[in-house]
Structure 1
């Protein structure tokens, strides 16, 4: 049993292999084949965006996918180079490389190792709890934001032109301007739009053959037959070479120079990966441990750095492609990694006939599957505040950036929690004829008060922000009582904590009530809260006779204390 627990914690891929179902094999393989067409250009493109040779992007795809299949807790997360990391990698590595490509590759590998080590240490220290802050509104806003960003970025490729926008608004403006100026390439647009039509048609008729696979293979065949490689942009031939160590010439001074950037990249990579991992796990009815995810991403980065790659994270554009094509387990990523190796060795020129527009079609269809308007509408009917948080996450991710958008939404979540605790629900409890217990007067306006007794309930912990509100509310209830009040019972079961500021407010309330001949007592207060009262020096003021295990016993004590 202990061995199985260790395997689930450190090598979850083995546990998945033990429980693997034969019915999953076909969809895992076909999803891996479809995914490969996207892994190759993405890896090469992001390597070049970071100022590195294109083959390093393939190594930063192959190695992490294989390693993550063994150590990763998420069953369909796709790892690889990412657009948000590429500029940071280039900014950290290229100045130190001084124009030497081999040194740039070595420094990028070192950066991945340092970043991975930071994530591994963070996972061992259980710092993955940050994913617990990713509430449903944040995840919902994040996915819709990512969908918009990805779709907008792919439209120019789909239509056969390119733009160089610095942000989403700029990309939309430039794309619209290019379309208005007639820059659309009819051939590329036909291939791209046709690819979307093929994928959607196969999905509409629930075909067992993935439409993505048909669209990619069909576009390659079409480009070859019509010699389109000279007319529209193609992915290009694969570079030669397999993953291998490339860390020569490094010095300790390089480590010191790259520790800071590695920490920053680690934060960006895990923030993005954490949201993506937890969101896709939730969509599948599964759960992922944040600290385990942190260790897995760290391990995959260390392996990438050792074998000629560079820092990478989960992919928000490639993971949906895997999901849309029926991926069940990490085998999908393994198939993708193995196929890249096969193409490098056997048919490196095949991708010379893969139109960029066809890949854009694949990404756009996959990204649109992330859009979830219905949940936003449902959330609006249930909670305006949570809907606002989802919209904030959406706007942050779409307009500012993935990490910034997540941090904005988390910050707003904290504000919402504080506001909720600052002005929590509070009410007076009354007796409802024919119904046992004591009930909210707001929901039972015909209920009656027990003469001489006020029962109040405050649904939050007492702390510096709401102690005065509790004090004021209790005084108002006492003041509007139709008869003189002798006791105030606090239904304290919802009160989960107490700080020194709230303690002072409690003392002031007790002094006020005592001066008016009113006794303050508590019913159903949790033992840890009573311990806190004693720890704060209120044990003498609020002795054992001030506490009752239930509201019924407190009310009976009141009735026994009232003169007949």
Structure 2
């Protein structure tokens, strides 16, 4: 064997084993004096156990701790600050912070206006609904959100998802029923987000892995970009499907009769300009504002050119009329009954979860960059409230936008006041400026969307996934190809399915490792990771790297027995002493259930038939408590449960093996 003691040590060990291998040496004070017994934690009542587990699951951050030992008035103030964080940080707000927020708010407003008009088109809505959303939603979030950097509004992925799911229910997106279903889906998206926050179930969104999100976002970006070929090429008749095959077939079938060269010139020219400004901003960080204001410049210049040349009469599609004025009420438009209620709930839950995942990811990213923390559950309540109010004020689903948040961060925002500034600019736009967008060509809006979604394709992240974890890369590619070859919802379903499959695989097939002793130490490590680690004559030490539940208990038992058989064959062929003791290192085992207990009972019976004794090392408090409760500790033997592997080796191994 490669992981064994030297020949001289083996000879000495074999001699010792012949003399006293199976008997304990209680008289050897030098060896046993340092050995401690594994202690059992104090017994908790059923109520205490349930309370502890409940608090750890839902209130591990102790959100109510600050209310303890406070007066009634102080509790009211703290409660108000909890619901509206602006009352907490607003006390320290100053002119210097406002200057940063003012510049950032104006900058992201110049970016969001053309984006809102374009994203509304993705959701098959009139342009003013995108502007409505960027007026109300950021205003609500500024009072309730805990992120300083996130910029709120419609986003491409959620807009496309809504447009796709809603047209499956109501193909005629110009009908009033379609608009009502939009508000219904937005309402239930907000309810879903609020419920997750209030019930402190935010951990559910963590089941959608980072790898799945990378693939989903990349696929959605390509799908969105391909959808914009309709506006970029001036195609009149275009497929309603989103998969790449249907889109490209529609593009090439229209090549001979529907492409408009004036539209192509406008679209390609401004697309090149947007890409150039984005490249400049990437190379020189201090010129980030160039890329931020370039969409508005494109809109202004292209609108002016189309107006003076009347290119719209030559086949160039334009936005036409955008309704001005503030948001009308849409409370009575929401379906609370009827045949579209179930569709509204389903679409709302899906879009709400996707929007929530994107917002939380963006918020955490920028919070880490500025070294502050955000409350995930508070964020969910804020986003949910924002969308519920939005559904009643003619808005559709809003969330955090990565491109706007990046610009907001680079522009030097200090607090959520930048969202308030942006909202005020959108209000002025709705009241005064919207008629000026009448001649804005759709090709420019398509160029703006294509440029915006390019940042969602993260090739570096995909390469890193390949290097680090092939299963993560598979999840990424599954979500990616699911989106581009089927649909956004199928890609999302594949992403969730693969994420759950990974969790199930890790739970049902945990790792086990054979341990050896590092030379000159009392440390035991995986012999595959540390080739110089040598095994102990007459003993096999195995570490289980997972909690032991019904889903994996039989696998762990079978895996241990397989290790045992393989090691016995190798030791026999190398004339190494046969195995007399099996040591299971249990420090990674955080919990064990009744199936795990039964698996250990079966393991014990199998070992008895082989005349091998079972030793346990370092079981945790929950595990040792359950071992005692099930009487398994008595079957194994109280004197065969040790604090460390070293203690087990010192007691039952060859003399001097752990010195």
Report the TM range for the smaller structure's normalisation: 0.7 to 0.9
Between the aligned partners of 1:147 and 1:105, the Cα distance in structure 2 is: 25
Between the aligned partners of 2:418 and 2:254, the Cα distance in structure 1 is: 37
Contact 2:101 2:418 in 1 (8 A): no
Cα offset, 1:532, TM superposition: 2.3
Moved more, 320-329 or 419-428: 320-329
For residues 260 and 122 of structure 1, do their structure 2 counterparts lie closer, same or farther at Cα, with a shift above 3 Å needed?
farther
The aligned residue for residue 233 of structure 1 is 317
Between the aligned partners of 2:192 and 2:649, the Cα distance in structure 1 is: 58
The aligned residue for residue 397 of structure 2 is 312
The aligned residue for residue 83 of structure 1 is 160
Between the aligned partners of 1:376 and 1:200, the Cα distance in structure 2 is: 23
For residues 468 and 436 of structure 1, do their structure 2 counterparts lie closer, same or farther at Cα, with a shift above 3 Å needed?
closer
Between the aligned partners of 1:474 and 1:105, the Cα distance in structure 2 is: 63
Between the aligned partners of 2:86 and 2:599, the Cα distance in structure 1 is: 55
Question: Which has more radius of gyration?
Answer: 2
Which of 327, 335, 339 aligns to 2:425? It is 339
Cα offset, 1:93, TM superposition: 8.7
Between the aligned partners of 1:161 and 1:136, the Cα distance in structure 2 is: 36
Structure 1 length as normaliser, TM-score? 0.85
The aligned residue for residue 640 of structure 2 is 546
Q: How does 1:518-557 map to 2 (within 5 A)?
A: 518-557=612-651
Instruction: Using CA pairs under 8 Å that are at least 6 residues apart, name the structure with larger relative contact order, 1 or 2.
Output: 2
Between the aligned partners of 1:218 and 1:24, the Cα distance in structure 2 is: 27
Moved more, 278-287 or 415-424: 278-287
For residues 88 and 428 of structure 1, do their structure 2 counterparts lie closer, same or farther at Cα, with a shift above 3 Å needed?
closer
Contact 1:116 1:298 in 2 (8 A): yes
Contact 2:235 2:254 in 1 (8 A): no
Between the aligned partners of 2:605 and 2:186, the Cα distance in structure 1 is: 63
The aligned residue for residue 110 of structure 2 is 33
Cα offset, 1:193, TM superposition: 1.6
Query: 2:266 aligned with 1:191, yes or no?
Result: yes
For residues 383 and 458 of structure 1, do their structure 2 counterparts lie closer, same or farther at Cα, with a shift above 3 Å needed?
same
Deviation digits for residues 478-523 of structure 1 (CA, Å, limit 9, x no counterpart): 5233213332211111222323333222112212223333221111
The count of corresponding residues between Structure 1 and Structure 2 is 550
Cα offset, 1:246, TM superposition: 4.5
Structure 2 length as normaliser, TM-score? 0.74
Query: 2:585 aligned with 1:491, yes or no?
Result: yes
For residues 294 and 448 of structure 1, do their structure 2 counterparts lie closer, same or farther at Cα, with a shift above 3 Å needed?
closer
Task: Provide structure 2 residue ranges, at least 5 long, that are not aligned to the other structure.
Answer: 1-65, 68-74, 282-286
Query: 2:564 aligned with 1:475, yes or no?
Result: yes
Query: 2:361 aligned with 1:272, yes or no?
Result: no
The aligned residue for residue 68 of structure 1 is 141
Which of 444, 448, 463 aligns to 1:377? It is 463
Deviation digits for residues 282-322 of structure 1 (CA, Å, limit 9, x no counterpart): 54354765533432232122212333x1542437xx65356
Moved more, 494-503 or 130-139: 494-503
Query: 2:168 aligned with 1:168, yes or no?
Result: no
Cα offset, 1:391, TM superposition: 0.9
Moved more, 441-450 or 265-274: 441-450
Cα offset, 1:124, TM superposition: 0.9
Query: 2:301 aligned with 1:212, yes or no?
Result: no
Cα offset, 1:89, TM superposition: 5.3
Task: Provide structure 1 residue ranges, at least 5 long, that are not aligned to the other structure.
Answer: none
Q: How does 1:22-171 map to 2 (within 5 A)?
A: 22-43=99-120, 45=121, 49=124, 58-73=131-146, 75-80=149-154, 82-86=159-163, 112-113=186-187, 115-162=189-236, 163-171=238-246
Between the aligned partners of 1:490 and 1:266, the Cα distance in structure 2 is: 49
The aligned residue for residue 292 of structure 1 is 378
- RMSD over aligned Cα atoms: 3.6
For residues 437 and 142 of structure 1, do their structure 2 counterparts lie closer, same or farther at Cα, with a shift above 3 Å needed?
same
